[in-house]
Structure 1
Amino acid sequence: MRLFRVPMSRQAPIPVARPPVRRVETGAHWYRPTALTVDVLAAGLPIAAAFVEVHDPHPLRLAAASALLWPLIGVFSKRYTPLAWGDRGGLRAVIRDWLVLVGALATVRVVCGLDSVPAEAFTALIPALVLTAVCQKAIHRHLLAARRNARALRHVLVVGEAPTVDAVVEQLAQRTDHEYVVVGACPVGDGEMRSGVPEYVRLPGEAPESPETDALAVLTAADEIAADLVFVAPGRLMSGERMRRLSWALHDGGRSLMVLPGITDVARRRIRLTSAAGLTLLHIAPPLQRGSHTVAKSALDRAGALALILFFSPLLVLLALAVRLGSPGPVLYRQTRVGRHGKTFAMWKFRTMVVDADRLKIGLEAQNENDGHMFKMRRDPRVTPVGRILRRYSLDELPQLFNILFGHMSLVGPRPPLPEEVLKYNGVEMRRLSIKPGLTGLWQVSGRSDLSWRETVALDLRYVDNWSLAGDMNVMARTLRAVLDGQGAY
């Protein structure tokens, strides 16, 4: 059996055949008992110790209530499910559950006629929050590693028109942080499939008179390849009524069904499901490009930039001396970049190249290693010895903190492009300019110059459409690891 799952490559993703992989449960057998044990101990032991310390008459009862309530809240919020372990936003759910725990324990004390909750009790609840969050993160990382090694996967049969099936296979092949691997397809109509995924049966273009025709074909194919899920893509040939009848048969046959709405790179928090007159409606909230969130982002950007300038001020002085003594020329390099809505600004960096680098670039155009509008060379002869070190650890970017302070840039955002790059942008790429560029971003923490132009644009557009303050915090935390690793920095 051929499976179609490849890691994100530096070229355009091409679905390729891979040897059969060993299938395991989506969640390893130790995930749930480990998470439950951590929650019980983290909620019970600190509470017991705190109430013993304040000489409470019933420390063990309160500790038992806490140890019972914390995992119970987790069960109701589905914190012990594969979906929660595979979710990057699991920390928000843990914080929400923790606040519920605090309120529940306070209510229990009031109902039992006990005194108000001492401050020590709230402090003792913090380990439950911290240890549960750490445990969730550890399970999340282990699950991602298993998926990258072609384990913890679910086999998928795709039903839809041939071009749509090819698009689904290609989209899933681009990343390895999900649990789905396409093992077969049931194309609808006469279109030719180009992805190479095994075609088990072809459904007629027009809905058959007998609804059982589609159902029998799809169920037979699913049984033959032991598919866990059936993905169905609606289209001209797969109408809503036809898909509805197929769903009945699949569910009656014990198969799970997922419908592909056709939209990509939309964060789950922006999606709300509703219905009207029997229609299932998918409401997609607009990106956060105005309002209180953007005001808060701007305020945090400037406050953060000021704090970082003060913190790194001794390092900034040392780096300035190193650049000045390392090669002739100014300490700072001033370059025109394009910001939000196409407005240009002067961006500052520590100089990492020889003084006439811009003139020399014309003779190096043929050696450009980037497949898009950017110019990148691994062994750029214009880079100075000191500049190579600064680039390796992204230290040359630190003067951009002043750009952030003056409102030209953000701490997190798309990479700031050059004017000559923007002149080559198409309509899709121009969307990168709808928010302020950033000192760091998804591009910087995902491989930087090693990424293809297509991957760079995809990451920037994903950020533009789905950014949030919590997501910015996550990117900044990942930036430290990316800087120390130095991958793609040249």
Structure 2
Amino acid sequence: MTEVKSRTLFPGFFRQHISAGLAPDVREHTMRQASERVWARNYRIRLRLTDVATIMFAVTIAFSMRFGIEAIPASTRIEDASYLLISATIVVAWLVALIAFGVHDSRVIGVGASEYKRIVNASATAFGLLAIVFLLLNVDIARGYFLLALPLGTVSLLTAHWLWRRWLVSQRTLDHYLCRALVVGELDDVGYVIRQIQQKSGAAYNVVGAVVSDSDTHTVTTGQKPVPVLGSRDVPQIARNVGADTVIIAGKPKGGANFIRNLGWQLEGTATDLVLASQLTDVAGPRIHFRPVEGLPLIHVEIPQFEGGKHVLKRAFDVVASGVGLIVLAPMFLAIAVFIKLEDGGPVFFRQERVGRNQRTFTMLKFRSMVTTAERDLAKLVEKNQGNGLLFKIKDDPRVTAVGRVIRKYSLDEFPQLWNVLIGEMSLVGPRPPLPREVESYESHVHRRLYIKPGLTGMWQVNGRSDLSWDESVRLDLYYVENWSLTGDLMIVWRTLRVLLKPVGAY
């Protein structure tokens, strides 16, 4: 979504006197809007104070680890004072960088990947500039102390913001700390936006009503809970009546650009934001750039690239992560192999032909979780298929062994694919690896999921797995193929670890 700046926050005294002259119901909603703004301001203050404490803590720990706790100056020696000054400079520069990169921007806090990416970029920029300045000024600084403070502080900042975000998400599940949103547009577009907002716990919006221009319906029921339709026109008045913090324009509204421009003018001087829900289906933010030409704002959408340096970096990440994973998890692999062997004496691994990048086939490894005759028994179970689309799945599949039920629940049967990742047949994160018979039935556009290597985990893994419909799983895979980033991969890996502890859709 794209936010159009259309609000002016009144000072408290001015707002108080304006609201005093309003009708009681309007005054109540206006004050409710003001209270919604208070939590956002307080949340940013908490984040800033946490960042100050976190950076000071990281710099102090780095100093004591490099020079020893006894080196923290208790005297007034010149060398002690100089390092105190250097430490203070690092703290101030770091905080300035966080502010300059908009880490505390209301449109970023609580979002997740964007917030974390800004923290990393701000930290790297601050230390890069400090290194240049110290070199030019010939400042004598211990490199170990300087280099230790960067990773320690960055990890600490990321952890602190993650903890705050977890708290915020937990509050939003209780309908706290949400912006009250009014969605405007045609019925189909309004329904899509409402459904996406209600499905995402971090969406930050509570949809309190809709304005629908092409239908006589009284409610929109496409989301998790029905949303009342409050009219078909006079959006500013309806927004005031429901105390909306945000008006979201879904799709192309009736009246087009003139409607949006006039609505922006009518919302001026209020505490209400105007947000445009992008019609660029399945295009991620980093691929969208604004290129304004006088009188003609252009939106530039980058064409997906499937080669180049970014993919080399992805491969390096795959090699390192899979190599470390195979070494660290070796004892667990051995234990699983023993249990599988003891149960029925059959082979430990299940090998199956899958289709990889550019439709090249490879042999995928899994811990065997079914009886040895599972492939032959499949024909008897086809009619009981509970999967979606081309996928075959059955809850309580009779072919699954006792050990198999445990390792499938926690996805431990998939871990041998770390070997496929290491030798380059798969990636750590990517689309689900399909069977050849599935690929033969693909529609033309679905073949795009084969433009990159399939993954050990992916968006399908962290968004419901077998509970997803076929169309939804395809949409998620195609979205990943065209919009992936290394930061996004790290987020998916982290979410995968959480899913392993609380499995959803695994059977």
TM-score using structure 1 length = 0.82
Q: Which residue of 1 aligns with 2:303?
A: 286
Contact 2:184 2:253 in 1 (8 A): no
**Hey, what's the Cα distance between the residues in 1 that align with 2:214 and 2:409?**
53
Structure 1 residue 172, shift from structure 2 partner: 2.3
Contact 1:158 1:186 in 2 (8 A): yes
Contact 1:159 1:185 in 2 (8 A): yes
Structure 1 residue 221, shift from structure 2 partner: 0.9
Q: Which residue of 1 aligns with 2:421?
A: 404
| Cα deviation code 1:182-219 (max 9, x no counterpart) | 2222223567677253233324xxxxxxxxxxxxx121
Structure 1 residue 313, shift from structure 2 partner: 4.0
Contact 1:158 1:165 in 2 (8 A): yes
1:301 aligns with 2:318: yes
Structure 2 counterpart SS, 1:322: helix
Q: Which residue of 1 aligns with 2:139?
A: 115
Structure 1 residue 69, shift from structure 2 partner: 3.5
**Hey, what's the Cα distance between the residues in 1 that align with 2:52 and 2:247?**
37
**Hey, what's the Cα distance between the residues in 2 that align with 1:467 and 1:135?**
25
Q: Which deviates more from structure 2 when the two are superposed, residues 351-360 or residues 426-435? A: 426-435
- Which of 86, 89, 94 aligns to 2:110? It is 86
Name the amino acid aligned to 1:408: E
Structure 1 residue 178, shift from structure 2 partner: 0.5
Name the amino acid aligned to 1:116: D
Structure 1 counterpart SS, 2:247: strand
Contact 2:284 2:483 in 1 (8 A): yes
Q: Which residue of 1 aligns with 2:229?
A: 199
Q: Which residue of 2 aligns with 1:473?
A: 490
**Hey, what's the Cα distance between the residues in 2 that align with 1:157 and 1:423?**
44
Structure 1 residue 227, shift from structure 2 partner: 1.0
- Which of 387, 405, 408 aligns to 1:391? It is 408
**Hey, what's the Cα distance between the residues in 2 that align with 1:39 and 1:64?**
14
Q: Which residue of 2 aligns with 1:213?
A: none
Structure 1 residue 224, shift from structure 2 partner: 1.0
- Which of 150, 155, 159 aligns to 2:175? It is 150
Structure 1 residue 451, shift from structure 2 partner: 3.5
Structure 1 residue 128, shift from structure 2 partner: 3.4
Contact 2:219 2:229 in 1 (8 A): no
Q: Which residue of 1 aligns with 2:96?
A: 72
Contact 1:274 1:283 in 2 (8 A): yes
Name the amino acid aligned to 1:202: S
1:413 aligns with 2:425: no
**Hey, what's the Cα distance between the residues in 1 that align with 2:89 and 2:332?**
51
Structure 2 counterpart SS, 1:55: helix
**Hey, what's the Cα distance between the residues in 1 that align with 2:144 and 2:366?**
49
| Cα deviation code 1:151-202 (max 9, x no counterpart) | 2111222222233222322332332220123222222356767725323332
- Which of 34, 55, 59 aligns to 2:79? It is 55
**Percent of aligned pairs with the same amino acid:** 36
Structure 1 residue 488, shift from structure 2 partner: 3.1
**Hey, what's the Cα distance between the residues in 2 that align with 1:190 and 1:379?**
44
Structure 1 counterpart SS, 2:107: helix
Q: Which residue of 1 aligns with 2:157?
A: 132
Q: Which residue of 2 aligns with 1:173?
A: 198
Q: Which residue of 2 aligns with 1:353?
A: 370
Name the amino acid aligned to 2:229: E
Instruction: Sort the Cα spacing of 1:288 and 1:144 in 2 relative to 1 into closer, same or farther, 3 A.
Output: farther
Contact 2:179 2:205 in 1 (8 A): yes
- Which of 127, 134, 137 aligns to 1:102? It is 127
- Which of 282, 285, 288 aligns to 1:265? It is 282
**Hey, what's the Cα distance between the residues in 1 that align with 2:149 and 2:323?**
34
Contact 1:288 1:466 in 2 (8 A): no
- Which of 292, 312, 321 aligns to 1:275? It is 292
Name the amino acid aligned to 2:107: L
Contact 2:388 2:468 in 1 (8 A): no
Contact 2:180 2:243 in 1 (8 A): yes
Structure 1 residue 382, shift from structure 2 partner: 0.5
Structure 2 counterpart SS, 1:199: strand
Instruction: Sort the Cα spacing of 1:107 and 1:304 in 2 relative to 1 into closer, same or farther, 3 A.
Output: closer
Contact 2:218 2:228 in 1 (8 A): no
Q: Which residue of 1 aligns with 2:473?
A: 456
| Higher helix proportion (structure 1 or 2) | 2
**Hey, what's the Cα distance between the residues in 2 that align with 1:141 and 1:369?**
34
Instruction: Sort the Cα spacing of 1:404 and 1:157 in 2 relative to 1 into closer, same or farther, 3 A.
Output: same
Q: Which residue of 1 aligns with 2:17?
A: none
Contact 1:165 1:193 in 2 (8 A): no
Q: Which residue of 2 aligns with 1:37?
A: 49
| Cα deviation code 1:360-419 (max 9, x no counterpart) | 222223333333322222311111122223223323223323322343211111111223
Instruction: Sort the Cα spacing of 1:184 and 1:151 in 2 relative to 1 into closer, same or farther, 3 A.
Output: same
Structure 2 gap ranges (5+): 1-31, 222-226
Contact 2:220 2:229 in 1 (8 A): no
Structure 1 residue 247, shift from structure 2 partner: 2.0
**Hey, what's the Cα distance between the residues in 2 that align with 1:420 and 1:193?**
46
**Hey, what's the Cα distance between the residues in 2 that align with 1:388 and 1:152?**
40
| Cα deviation code 1:47-80 (max 9, x no counterpart) | 5866846933344444444444433333332222
Contact 2:98 2:123 in 1 (8 A): no
Q: Which deviates more from structure 2 when the two are superposed, residues 367-376 or residues 120-129? A: 120-129
- Which of 254, 265, 276 aligns to 1:237? It is 254
Name the amino acid aligned to 1:221: I
**Hey, what's the Cα distance between the residues in 2 that align with 1:387 and 1:484?**
17
Instruction: Sort the Cα spacing of 1:229 and 1:41 in 2 relative to 1 into closer, same or farther, 3 A.
Output: closer
